[in-house]
């Protein structure tokens, strides 16, 4: 029950900093530290935060307005079962694109600005990249200017909790995941995000990830996921090689998983990682 109560940590509790991934430590941190040096003197940390939030919201809304009017949500409920296993008679199988936000499906609302779905995805990738940089530099700017505040912290992390859910929905749909599966992915992201911030606030323990994968890599994924369909148009529909399935799995399992797509296999791994993070946070909270 303590997990759901907002109890301020006592001053004698040591701060347990987040464990940085190798990419964050050796590449991203030096890059973000360099970016902060070039911010105009008139920019405040909260302005940077709000500017970044606006960029990712604009990206998501632009993509959502490009969903075709005939969009189908099949099945119309959340399910852990990959969309490829819905059956041959499913409406999803007859739709003219893997997902409503795939470049083959997108119908940009402002065709004079975005003549095709490819241009829209390219632009949204840039907008999300700006958000990624802003979100990782607002805190650095606050420390540099010595303008850290509780309001700024709540503004940063609070809005992150909201935008991360919307970004997850949009990014996974662009990647080729069905909204029926995305709904469960959003739930795991929400639980992990809320628990992580609660643990940080109550016990000064910040769960960021591990040495190989962290929140920073997830944010980079939100940027590049818009460009992946442009570079690999067939990825969203590509099925896992039967030879690979039969090589690593028992014959019965391999036969049952023949409809599985690569993006759905990645989704399963993602779900498992999120469950691991949630259990890890819960174990630290209970101590």
Please report, for the domain that includes residue 51, its CATH number. Answer: 1.20.120.1760
The most distant pair of C-alpha atoms in the chain lies apart, rounded to whole Å, by 64
- Residue 219 makes CB contacts below 8 A (sequence gap 6+) with 132, 135, 136
How many residues are recorded in the chain?
287
What is the predicted pLDDT for the residue at 74? 62
The residue ranking higher by pLDDT, 161 or 124, is: 124
Q: How far apart are CA 21 and CA 34, in angstroms?
A: 19
Yes or no: say if 86 and 74 are a contact pair by the CB < 8 Å rule: yes
Kind and range of the H or E element at 210? none
List pLDDT tens digits, range 240-254.
999 999 999 999 999
Mean pLDDT for the stretch of residues 151-167: 72
pLDDT at 152: 67
- Predicted confidence at residue 207, as pLDDT, reads 65
Q: Tell whether 235 is covered by a domain.
A: yes
* 3-class secondary structure, 209: strand
Position 3 pLDDT exceeds 60 = no
Residue 206, C-beta contacts closer than 8 angstroms, at least 6 positions apart: 16, 17, 18, 196, 199, 200
**Residue 103 half-sphere exposure, CB side, CA atoms within 13 Å?**
24
List all residues 6 or more positions away from 193 whose beta carbon is below 8 Å from its beta carbon: 160, 161, 164
- Is the sign of the CA dihedral 192, 194, 196, 198 positive or negative? negative
Does the pLDDT of residue 37 top 70, yes or no?
Answer: yes
* Segment 73-98 mean pLDDT: 64
- Whether 15 maps to a domain, the answer reads no
- The pLDDT score that the predictor gives to residue 241 is 92
pLDDT in tens, 90-143: 554 445 556 788 888 888 888 888 988 899 999 999 999 999 999 889 888 888
Q: Region 58-69: what's the mean pLDDT?
A: 88
CB atoms within 10 A of CB 143: 12
Domain that holds residue 215: 22-286
What is the three-class DSSP state of 214? strand
As a whole number of angstroms, the distance between CA 188 and CA 182 comes to 10
The pLDDT, as a whole number, for residue 117 is 87
Q: Does residue 95 form part of some domain?
A: yes
Q: Residue 12 falls within a domain, yes or no?
A: no
Residues 56 and 47: their CA atoms lie apart, in Å, by 15
Q: What is the pLDDT of residue 171?
A: 86
* Mean pLDDT score of the chain: 79
Percent of the chain with pLDDT over 70: 79
Q: Does an H or E element contain 287, and which?
A: none
- Comparing 78-87, 92-101, 214-223, 270-279, the range with the smallest average pLDDT is 92-101
Instruction: Give yes or no for a cis peptide into 159 (omega within 30° of 0).
Output: no
14 in a structural domain? no
- pLDDT, position 2: 36
- 9 located within any domain: no
Which residues make Cβ contacts (< 8 Å) with residue 2, sequence separation at least 6?
202, 285
In a domain, 16, yes or no: no
pLDDT band at 68 (very low <50, low <70, confident <90, very high): confident
Does a structural domain hold residue 7? no
Residue 7 has pLDDT above 50, yes or no: no
For residue 58, is pLDDT > 90? yes
160 or 29: which leads in pLDDT: 29
Structural domain total, the chain: 1
- pLDDT of residue 6 exceeding 60: no
Higher-confidence residue of 202 and 166: namely: 166
């Amino acid at each position: 029950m303590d997990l759901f109560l907002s109890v301020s940590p006592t001053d004698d509790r040591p701060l347990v900093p987040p464990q940085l991934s190798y990419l964050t430590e050796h590449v991203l941190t030096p890059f973000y530290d360099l970016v902060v040096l070039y911010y105009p003197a008139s920019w405040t940390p909260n302005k940077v935060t709000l500017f970044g939030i606006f960029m990712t919201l604009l990206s998501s809304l632009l993509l959502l307005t490009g969903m075709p009017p005939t969009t189908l949500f099949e099945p119309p409920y959340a399910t852990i079962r990959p969309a490829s296993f819905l059956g041959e008679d499913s409406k999803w199988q007859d739709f003219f694109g893997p997902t409503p936000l795939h470049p083959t499906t997108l119908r940009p609302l402002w065709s004079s600005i975005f003549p095709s779905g490819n241009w829209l995805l390219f632009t949204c990738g840039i907008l999300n990249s700006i958000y990624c940089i802003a979100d990782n530099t607002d805190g650095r700017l606050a420390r540099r200017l010595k303008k850290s505040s509780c309001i700024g912290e709540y503004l940063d992390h609070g809005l992150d909790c909201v935008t991360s859910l919307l970004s997850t929905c949009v990014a996974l749909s662009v990647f080729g995941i069905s909204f029926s599966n995305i709904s469960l992915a959003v739930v795991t992201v929400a639980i992990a995000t809320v628990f992580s911030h609660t643990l940080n606030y109550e016990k000064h323990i910040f769960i960021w990830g591990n040495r190989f994968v962290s929140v920073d890599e997830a944010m980079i994924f939100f940027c590049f996921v818009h460009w992946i369909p442009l570079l690999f148009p067939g990825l969203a529909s590509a099925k896992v090689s039967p030879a690979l399935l039969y090589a690593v799995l028992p014959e019965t399992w391999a036969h049952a998983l023949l409809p599985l797509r690569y993006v759905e296999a990645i989704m399963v791994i993602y779900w498992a990682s999120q469950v691991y993070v949630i259990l890890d946070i819960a174990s630290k909270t209970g101590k």
